[in-house]
Amino acid sequence: MEQEEVGLALGLSLGSGHHQLKEQPSPSSHSCTLLEPSLSLRLPAKDSPAARVRIAAVKRELRMEEDDEATDRALYSVASSALVAPDDDEGCNSRKKLRLTKEQSALLEDRFKEHSTLNPQKAALAKQLNLRPRQVEVWFQNRRARTKLKQTEVDCELLKRCCETLTEENRRLHRELQQLRTLNHPHTAAFFMPAATLSICPSCERLTGAPATTTTNGADRPKASGPGRATHLFNPFANSAAC
DNA sequence: GCGGTCAAGACGAACG
DNA sequence: CGTTCGTCTTGACCGC
């Protein structure tokens, strides 16, 4: 196996959760530090088309042997001799990313459900998961952020639906009002009156318009019973005129 | 600790 | 069937 392939294979194998990589990007190269056991590797770049083809092949290969510790050991051994490399400019300039195992994710999820912050248990949990405390911390931060984001999306959707319902209700009320105006005063200016100047007679339930000024002080006028009921205000003056 | 962002890797659809 | 491309997920980092 060529050095590049070994490097890529090792990186991918490590990324699958058997070990951890600490990344230290630099302008010209990317040094990946193996934390357990501690070993500094310089993985070659993988951006060339040829490398991409090899990546696919190695990935497939590794997937088949993912639980094969002997393979991991062999790769590791090869890496330690072949990849602690000459300080060339072909370091891996793309950061390797740890992928938590299902078990690790499940445990973190459980702990998150119990409590969305982790301070007292951080070190213990990190040890239990075989991760660095910082990784556990980051996981919780991301988890909180993404939970919040999801909740925001849900709330937004809810508000959107609520808005649509209210808009539809508003349209319906406008239609209703227009019908009432047409039925009661087809040829009068009431058709154009603002809703607040209209009222309905409680006895005959007919819509009527109020005059611009009135001789009553309005003290005996019943109050509107709630939003959306502006047309149901009772005006004694208007009613006496209408009925 | 949070919000914003980057980037690796997974995954599915489309294509030859 | 293998490859490419677009999209999504998620680990990590930065600035506040």
Residue pLDDT, tens place only, A137-169: 999 999 999 999 999 888 988 898 999 999 999
Distance A178 CA to C13 C1' (A): 60
Alpha-carbon Rg for chain A, nearest whole angstrom, is 37
Question: Closest nucleotide (CA of A122 to C1')?
Answer: B1
Q: How far is the CA of A11 from the C1' of C8 (A)?
A: 22
Chain B positions with a protein C-beta closer than 7 Å: 1-5, 7-10
pTM for the structure as a whole: 0.48
**DSSP-assigned letters across all residues of A143-187:** HHHHHHHHHHHHHHHHHHHHHHHHHHHHHHHHHHHHHHHHHH-TT
**Per CA to C1' distance, which residue is closest to C12?**
A138
- Give me the residue label for tokens 């990935």: A59
pLDDT average, residue stretch A184-204: 58
Q: What is the pLDDT of residues A15-62, one digit of tens each?
A: 333 333 333 333 333 333 333 322 223 233 333 333 333 333 343 334
Bigger pLDDT: A202 vs A173: A173
Measure, in angstroms, how far nucleotide C11 C1' is from residue A163 CA.
37
Confidence of residue A120 (pLDDT cuts 50, 70, 90): confident
A210 with A197: CB under 8 angstroms?
yes
- Closest nt to A25 (CA→C1')? C13
pLDDT value, residue A221: 39
Contact present, A195 and A231 (Cβ < 8 Å):
yes
Q: Taking Cα atoms as reference points, which of A6, A36, A9 lies closest to residue A21?
A: A36
